[in-house]
Amino acid sequence: MLAHNAVLAIVLFVALVLAASLQGLAASGHFPRSRRGPAAALEPVVLFGSIAVVIVCLAAGIAAALRLIPWYAAVIGGGLSILAAPPVLQRFSDRFVDGSRALATFAAACAVFALLLIWMAMATTGTGPASPG
């Protein structure tokens, strides 16, 4: 049986992968670029910036999660969250998904989940600012 902190780490990892999958699906709807106007100048910055944030957070989150949970739990949980992403994204309004708010929201969620996983991994191994030595 897994420890309580491992169960929390699995939940955070699944949420991280789900948020990254949702951001990827939302970002795929922004190609090719079709908007014009004054707000269109910032859209490439939000699009590519959010993609970069998600890639970095996903890499860091996976590295931290694999220190806390078994690899087979990560594969099963990550696979299920990838499969669940399209139906979950359909629950959001088209106005939200088609705008840049979805990109920023899902990227921010990835950052939060990755930071929580990194904090848990550092606290578990005793190599962080919260460590006594």
Rounded distance, CA 14 to CA 20, Å?
A: 10
Tell me the pTM.
0.86
Rounded distance, CA 119 to CA 72, Å?
A: 22
Which residues 6+ apart lie within 8 Å of 132 measured at CB? 126
**53 alpha-carbon distance from chain centroid:** 9
pLDDT at residue 133 in the model: 47
Decide if pLDDT at 37 tops 60.
no
pLDDT in tens, 55-71: 999 999 999 999 999 99
pLDDT at residue 45 in the model: 86
Burial zone of 83 (CB within 10 Å; 0-12 exposed, 13-18 middle, 19+ buried): exposed
